[in-house]
Amino acid sequence: MKNRYVVFAILLFISSPVFAQDDLLDLLDETDESVNYAIATFKGTRIINGHSTKLRKKKELEFLISHRFGRINTGIYEFFGLDEANSRLALEYGITDVLNIGVGRSSFDKTYDGFVKWKFLRQKTGAQRSPVSMVLFSSYAINSVRSEGQDINFEDRIGYTFELLIARKFNSDFSFQLMPGMVHLNAVPSAEDDNDIYYLGGGLRYKLTRSFALTAEYYYRFNPLTSTETFDVVGIGFDIETGGHVFQLLFTNTKAQFEKGFITQTVDNFWDGDIRFGFNISRTFQLGQKGG
C-alpha cells in the first residue's frame, strides 16, 4: 500500500520532463500574436502556506525563507508570539519553465521535505484557448525528531502529498485557485485514523495597488485525524513587490510550512484567535543563460 505512493511519485518525477516538452513549446510560442497567455496570476510561488501555480523559470534558483511566530493571543509575556519561532529554509530550481524541483528543512518536527511541480496547462486566449492554468504537485516530508525510548521505523516518519493546482486570472486585479489533494501518512497516531487525508484548498489574490496585493487561503479536510484534535488551515496575507521580488506578510493558524504538516498537524483554531504572524521572503538567482 505504501509502495504505490513511492512508485507514483517516482513515475511523476521521471515522466514530467517528457510531457513538459509540449507545453514548453507552447511557452516558446508566446511571440505568436494569435495566442495571449495570462501572466502574473500569482506573484509568489506561495499563496500563503501552500503553493501557487507560479513556477521559477528555467535555470532560476530561489532561496526561500519562511517564518512563523507564536500565537498572538499568548499576550505580553510571550511578546504576542514573537518569543517563539518556526522557520523553513528552502531552495527551489527551474529545470525548465514548466518543471520545478525543491528541497527544504523546517524547525517544525525537524522536517526535511522535497517536491516536484509540473505545469502542464497554461491559461491563454486567442487562437488557442484555455480558461485555467493547471499544475501537478507532489512532495514528501520526513520527520527527523529523535524518539525518546521508542524505536520508530524510518518509513513511519514519511508522509506524501499529491495535489492538483487549478488557477484562473479573471482580470488584472483578481486571481483564484483551487487545490484538491491528498496527504498519505505511512504511520498515524491511532488505528482509528485514516492514512489518507483528503482535502480541498482555495486561495485568492486581489491587487490593491501596483505593488501591494491581498492574499487569502483556506484548506478544508474531508476526513481529518480523529484521535487528535486538529483544525483547518486559514491564512490572510499581503504581497509587497520590491525591486522585482515579493515579500509576503501573513497571519495564519499553523506553525508548519509544508503540506503534510499544515494539513494534518495544525492544532490551533484560527476562529478562536489562535493566530500567528509570519512572513515569506525569497531571493532569486539566474544560473547561466536561460536558453543554454
Is 81 strand, coil or helix? helix
Q: For residue 205, what is the domain's CATH number?
A: 2.40.160.40
68 lies in some domain = yes
More confident residue, 96 or 244: 96
What average pLDDT does the segment 38-51 reach? 94
User: Is the residue at 249 inside a domain?
Assistant: yes
Q: Is 251 left (phi over 0), alpha (psi -120 to 50) or beta?
A: beta
Specify the number of domains making up the chain. Answer: 1
Q: What is the value of pTM for the model shown?
A: 0.85
Q: In which domain, by residue range, is 228 found?
A: 2-286
* Average pLDDT of the residues in 44-48: 95
pLDDT reading at 101 higher than 70: yes
**Average pLDDT for 147-153:** 75
Q: What percentage of the chain carries pLDDT values higher than 70?
A: 87
- What is the model's pLDDT at position 290? 63
The verdict on residue 155 lying in a domain is yes
User: Is the pLDDT confidence value at 219 over 60?
Assistant: yes
Asked whether residue 6 is domain-assigned, the answer is yes
Which band of pLDDT confidence, cut at 50, 70 and 90, is reported for residue 153? confident
Cβ–Cβ under 8 Å, residues 212 and 250: no
Average pLDDT over residues 229-250: 91
Across the range 261-276, mean pLDDT stands at 96
**Strand 174-185 vs strand 158-169: parallel, antiparallel, or unpaired?**
antiparallel
Segment 230-245 mean pLDDT: 90
Residue 256: predicted pLDDT? 94
pLDDT of residue 62 exceeding 50 = yes
As a whole number, the mean pLDDT across the chain is 88
Assigned domain for 291 exists: no
Tell me the CB-side half-sphere exposure of residue 280, using CA atoms within 13 A. 31
Write the DSSP assignment of 194-230 as a string of letters: -SEEEEEEEEEEEEEETTEEEEEEEEEESS--SSS--
Query: CA–CA separation, 213 vs 111, rounded Å?
Result: 31
With the CA atoms of 201, 87, 65 and 104 taken in that order, what torsion angle do they form, in degrees rounded to the nearest 10? -80
What's the whole-number mean pLDDT along residues 257-286? 95
Residue 214 lies in a domain: yes
Helix or strand run (H / E) with residue 259: helix 259-264
Burial zone of 118 (CB within 10 Å; 0-12 exposed, 13-18 middle, 19+ buried): buried
Length reported for the chain: 292
- Tell which wins on pLDDT, 242 or 261: 261
**Is 292 within the bounds of a domain?**
no
Give yes or no for a contact between 112 and 104, defined as CB atoms under 8 angstroms apart: yes
Q: What is the predicted pLDDT for the residue at 24?
A: 45
Per the domain annotation, does 244 fall within a domain? yes
Q: Which residue has the higher pLDDT, 136 or 191?
A: 136
